[in-house]
Amino acid sequence: MDPLLIGTLFVLFLCFLGLSWFAGSDAPYVATKMDHIKKVLKAAGIKKGKLFYELGSGDGRVVYQAAKLGAKAIGIEQSYLRVLYSRYRAKKLKLPEAVFYHGNIFKREYFPADVVYIFLLQRAVDKLEKKLQQELKKGAVVITQRYHFKHWKPFKTIGEFNLYKKS
């Protein structure tokens, strides 16, 4: 095969990988800044024995932090690339309690969750407000970042994060 053609295909493949890293149907990939996240997770009640879900887990950084605080931490992410990367990092960091699943967050139910974390665009946050109000057990906490629930009143705000409790 022509080396120029192979080179062009390789560059196109790299462009595809690069673009797919940032893609996301309900929010593009933008990572949470980690400055306040430990404080926020602790305020939400994350500790040993708790079950944490992150809906749209990106590169897994918040899931790792929840697992480091002792929770069983589950990330759901629609990008295969980010799921594979997150699983690889969880192994490297020796965090067996950090688990990642590929899929659409709207096709799952979250009733066993103690804490749910979301950082998505407003339209998705609006849809999740209804879904999580219906599904979560009493006392479960939801954390939103930047884009917040419109009707559910937060019990705490820390910087850009709002924390909501299911009553």
Binding site for ligand SAM (CB under 6 A): 24-27, 29-32, 54, 56-58, 61-62, 76-79, 82, 104-106, 119-120
Q: Where are the alpha helices (H) located in 61-156, listed in sequence order? A: 61-68, 80-92, 122-135
Q: Which is nearer to ligand SAM, 12 or 23 (CB)?
A: 23
- In the bound state with ligand SAM, the residue whose beta carbon lies nearer, of 4 and 75, is 75
What is the smallest separation between the CB atom of 37 and ligand SAM, expressed in angstroms? 9
SS3 of the chain: helix, strand, coil, percent, to 5: 40, 20, 40
Retrieve residue 68's tokens: 């480091």
- In the complex, residue closest to ligand SAM by CB: 56
**Rounded least distance, CB 45 to ligand SAM, Å:** 19
3 state SS for 38-65: HHHHHHCCCCCCCEEEEECCCCCHHHHH
In angstroms, give the least distance from the CB of 114 to ligand SAM. 18
Please say which residue, 125 or 136, places its beta carbon nearer to ligand SAM: 125
| Nearest distance, CB of residue 124 and ligand SAM, angstroms | 6
Q: Which 3 state secondary structure label does DSSP give 75? A: strand
For ligand SAM, the closer of residues 59 and 97 by Cβ is 59
Q: Which is nearer to ligand SAM, 9 or 66 (CB)?
A: 66
Neighbour tally for 52: CB within 10 Å:
29
Least distance in angstroms from the C-beta of 119 to ligand SAM: 4
Q: How far apart are CA 142 and CA 144, in angstroms?
A: 7
